[in-house]
Amino acid sequence: MRSAVVVASLLVCGLAGACTIERVDEGSDEDAPEPDFLTRAAEILDAQALAWNAGDLDGFMAGYDRSPETTYIGTTGLITGFDGIRARYAPLFEPGATRDSVRFTELEARLLDPRFGVVTARYVLFRGDETTSTGPFTLILMRVEGTWRIVHDQSAADPPH
């Protein structure tokens, strides 16, 4: 049986721009993830991009589970715990800090079971019309008290062109 992949492109248009979510479903209906998971994953990333672009650290972090077991892997290595992840991002949100705008693209979501799902996408950091960094990331989402939350985030940067 062919495994279904549900793809959603998440477009975030600047600080005050409107956000658009476009979905393309592939595969059979019985293989597709529940619409709630795809929608919630897109909503989490949409809210994170809007908060990032507005300089709202707490809004950006709202998609993560506030657990000491939540993990992040990136250029700085493994960070364990919500507080550690928040501390990693905090300097980017300080007054006067340089923080490029972000948008997310190529969103794919797959429900693993009723409690866990995996999301892959790409981030695009940009300043005006110039792209400053891009890369793929993977999120593991877990349903916590009826709400999907990020419990693991692994990001990588594309090599410079």
146-159: pLDDT as tens digits? 899 999 999 999 99
Total number of domains in the chain: 1
End-to-end Cα, the chain, rounded Å? 39
**Angstrom distance (rounded) from CA 76 to CA 140:** 19
Query: Residues near 160 by Cβ (< 8 Å), separated by ≥ 6?
Result: none
12-51: pLDDT as tens digits? 433 333 344 444 444 444 454 456 788 899 999 999 999 9
Mean pLDDT of the chain: 84
Structural domain boundaries, residue 36 = 6-155
* Residues 38/24, Cβ–Cβ less than 8 Å: no
In a domain, 31, yes or no: yes
* Residues 111/35, Cβ–Cβ less than 8 Å: no
Query: Residues near 27 by Cβ (< 8 Å), separated by ≥ 6?
Result: 2, 3, 4, 5, 6
In a domain, 69, yes or no: yes
Handedness of CA 33, 73, 61, 128 (dihedral sign): negative
Q: What distance lies between CA 24 and its chain's CA centroid? A: 18
In a domain, 96, yes or no: yes
86-102: pLDDT as tens digits? 999 999 999 999 999 99
